[in-house]
Amino acid sequence: MIFDFIKLKLNYGFYLLFFLIITPFACNNVKVKNNFNEKEKIKNKYAELFKISENKKLKKLSIFDLNGNLKETYFLINKNKQLPDSLKNKNIIRTPVKRIICLSTTHIAFIDALGETDKIVALSGSQYVFNPELRKRMNAGMLKDVGYDSSLDFELLLSMKPDLVTVYDINGSISPVINKLKQLNIPVVQINEYLESSVLGQAEWIKFFAVFFEKEKKAEQIFSEIENRYTELKRQTDTVNRRPSVLLNMPWKGTWYIPGGKSNAAQLITDAGGNYIWKNTSEKHNLALTIEDVYNKGLNTDFWLNPGQAKSINDIIATDNRLEKFKAVKTGQIFNRNKRLSPGGGNDYMESGTVRPDLILEDLIKILHPDLLPKHTLYYYTNLK
């Protein structure tokens, strides 16, 4: 499961926030006071960790931590406008961005949804990329892999002349990378969509990405369509008579990492009309349980979803022969999110799934309540045999 988590952020993008409190500044024809004379440009419906605002000359991105504290502020100004001296040494991003480097494949999915994939000039973890267009460019030698973390190739990265680098974090490990990029005067933004408390909150980060490309209206339209579709799908399960029980994930080195009852995974199961057996726990992230703990509670579960890297039921049993006794193993009701894989192991569930929770929900409804969606063919999931 830990392997899945690391791969998730190379694929999926699955973490700390960073931010600076901006001080008053003013110059020439652009005057920005403490309050920025701002109005909120795009109101979020679900996302809690960012805010987009603007005045007559500038746009401002504010990012918050899980407690609602401001952690970082970025100012965006069109490339055709003169940059005031007082903005130098601030977090400035010139728009529209023409050259972007992504250190998470989740970021690729947001950019692709906006129709700006051609702006990606380099990335990290190329073997885990699913996007067909980017894979084609990589195979042709037109797209570079800059590495990541301690292996990040700063010389290569600098030679790509990016307008922006997007990063993610696991346990604060990205801070040295951010500091180095700032020393090189390369604009860098940490993306924290994975910390949102809802799947629609995660998907709403498409509005955040859109500001870099000056495509705010398109992002609002895309998100509205995703939200409406998700809401309509969820409505179909609100009155189901029976909610089958659901077990998630798989043991890894003797530990079974189970999503907490307040996690996005738990939300998806509930919205799909399922009864997640750890729904009453208060954690947003994973619980580290023993196989015995899960065995005692999950033995008679109706469905088993997301069993790690397993491609067959035999793969599951080979992990621990006790798993053969699970009801879902005997009935064949085991489904994994591995239908869309690249040759190198890139998983589109981890890549585009963050932007398209409606497609994930549609699959889960088809699995748990097939009669509700008789014409749907599973998009991300496969039934393991």
Q: What is the CATH number of the domain that holds 376?
A: 3.40.50.1980
Same domain, 88 and 162: yes
Residue 1 in any domain: the answer is no
Q: What is the arithmetic mean of pLDDT over 277-305?
A: 95
Query: Could you tell me what percent of the chain has a pLDDT over 70?
Result: 87
Residue 100 in any domain: the answer is yes
Of the residues 226, 251, 271, which one is the last residue of a structural domain? 226
Evaluate if residue 23 carries a pLDDT over 50. Answer: no
Mean pLDDT of the chain: 88
Same domain, 200 and 253: no
Q: How confident is the model at residue 38 (pLDDT cuts 50, 70, 90)?
A: low
d(CA 365, CA 351): 21
Which of 24-38, 79-93, 198-212, 357-371 has the least mean pLDDT? 24-38
Evaluate if residue 94 carries a pLDDT over 70. Answer: yes
Q: Which of 209, 229, 227 is nearest to 219 (CA)?
A: 209
The reported pLDDT for the residue numbered 173 is: 66
Give φ, ψ of 61 to 5 degrees. Answer: -110, 125
Does 232 or 84 have the greater pLDDT score? 232
Burial class (CB in 10 A: 0-12, 13-18, 19+), 9: buried
The reported pLDDT for the residue numbered 96 is: 97
d(CA 60, CA 48): 16
Same domain, 32 and 173: yes
Same domain, 24 and 133: yes
Same domain, 298 and 199: no
The domain in which residue 135 lies consists of: 15-226
Evaluate if residue 21 carries a pLDDT over 70. Answer: no
Total domains, the chain: 2
Residue 6 in any domain: the answer is no
Same domain, 217 and 264: no
Residue 234 in any domain: the answer is no
DSSP codes of every residue in 233-295? HHHHHTT-S---EEEE--EETTEEEEE-TTSHHHHHHHHTT-EETTTT---SSEEEEEHHHHH
Of the residues 171, 202, 226, which one is the last residue of a structural domain? 226
Of the residues 197, 226, 255, which one is the last residue of a structural domain? 226
Evaluate if residue 27 carries a pLDDT over 50. Answer: no
Q: What is the arithmetic mean of pLDDT over 157-176?
A: 85
Residue 233 in any domain: the answer is no
Same domain, 252 and 174: no
Same domain, 60 and 187: yes
Residue 258 in any domain: the answer is yes
Evaluate if residue 296 carries a pLDDT over 60. Answer: yes
Does 26 or 178 have the greater pLDDT score? 178
Same domain, 222 and 296: no
The reported pLDDT for the residue numbered 40 is: 62
Q: What is the arithmetic mean of pLDDT over 47-63?
A: 91
Question: Model confidence over 306-354: pLDDT tens digits?
Answer: 999 999 999 999 999 999 999 999 999 999 999 999 988 899 999 999 9
Most confident of 57-71, 85-99, 276-290: 276-290
Residue 235 in any domain: the answer is no
Same domain, 292 and 334: yes
The residue type of 150 is S
Evaluate if residue 9 carries a pLDDT over 70. Answer: no
Does 206 or 23 have the greater pLDDT score? 206
Q: How confident is the model at residue 242 (pLDDT cuts 50, 70, 90)?
A: very high
The reported pLDDT for the residue numbered 24 is: 37
The reported pLDDT for the residue numbered 171 is: 62
The reported pLDDT for the residue numbered 1 is: 44
d(CA 384, CA 317): 12
Same domain, 209 and 130: yes
Does 328 or 83 have the greater pLDDT score? 328
Residue 3 in any domain: the answer is no
Q: What is the CA radius of gyration of the chain?
A: 22
Same domain, 271 and 313: yes
